[in-house]
């Protein structure tokens, strides 16, 4: 007599892990399969700060907004909270982190020290302690000035690329006319 299997008894056979992964891969690009954050095309994860997101009248920002403004991913912000005492956002009744303008300035100072000046976490912690709150504001002002210079340099580069493209198109049209 043949052995009865789970499917013959009326129960569903357990899904294998591979079939779930295959279904996730086969999903359409617009489907919300998984909670994986979008990846950085360069693989760096370091993005420039977008200080235009700061609003004058707004008192508190949630972690997603802060991540977008500062260019630092939310999981990094949560880790920095455990490493830097200066970073201690308030929490709402629903336990969501609420960052103030001062917290965002501290995050930008930490980002500057870690990513651009290449400090270790311990070194950045020590440097922030040495700087104090006034100097941290100066560091944020330097960051803002640097962003203005970066955007001006990008405009110059865009203009140069546009001129090169126009020259190449002119050369291509000359070569096409000769053939």
The CATH number given to whatever domain includes residue 145 is: 1.10.1660.10
Domain annotation covers residue 153: yes
Domain annotation covers residue 21: no
Question: Tens digit of pLDDT for each residue in 89-104?
Answer: 999 999 999 999 888 9
Q: Encoding tokens for residue 44?
A: 């760096």
How confident is the model at residue 2, as a pLDDT? 54
Domain that holds residue 56: 41-174
Domain annotation covers residue 62: yes
Q: CA torsion, points 18, 42, 74, 147, in degrees to nearest 10?
A: -170
Question: Tens digit of pLDDT for each residue in 49-77?
Answer: 666 667 677 899 999 999 999 999 999 99
CB-side neighbour CA atoms (13 Å) of 18: 0
Domain annotation covers residue 145: yes
Residues in the chain where the model's pLDDT stays below 50: 7, 16-45
Domain annotation covers residue 93: yes
Domain annotation covers residue 22: no
Domain annotation covers residue 48: yes
What is the SS3 assignment for 90? Answer: strand
Q: CA torsion, points 152, 156, 162, 165, in degrees to nearest 10?
A: -130
How confident is the model at residue 132, as a pLDDT? 75
Domain annotation covers residue 23: no
Query: What's the domain count of the chain?
Result: 1
């Amino acid at each position: 007599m043949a052995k009865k299997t789970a499917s013959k008894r009326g129960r569903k056979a357990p899904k294998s892990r591979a079939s779930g992964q295959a279904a996730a891969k086969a999903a359409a690009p617009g489907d919300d399969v998984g909670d994986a954050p979008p990846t950085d095309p360069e693989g760096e994860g370091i993005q420039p700060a977008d200080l235009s997101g700061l609003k004058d009248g707004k008192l508190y920002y949630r972690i997603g907004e802060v991540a977008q403004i500062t260019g630092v991913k939310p999981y990094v912000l949560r880790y920095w909270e455990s490493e830097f005492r200066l970073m201690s956002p308030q929490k709402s009744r629903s336990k969501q982190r609420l960052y103030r303008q001062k917290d965002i300035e501290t995050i930008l100072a930490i980002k500057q020290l870690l990513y651009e000046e290449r400090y270790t976490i311990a070194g950045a912690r020590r440097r922030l302690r040495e700087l104090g709150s006034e100097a941290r504001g100066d560091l944020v002002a330097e960051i803002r000035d640097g962003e203005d210079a970066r955007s001006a340099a990008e405009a110059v580069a865009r203009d140069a690329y546009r001129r090169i493209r126009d020259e190449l198109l002119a050369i291509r049209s000359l070569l096409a006319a000769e053939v």
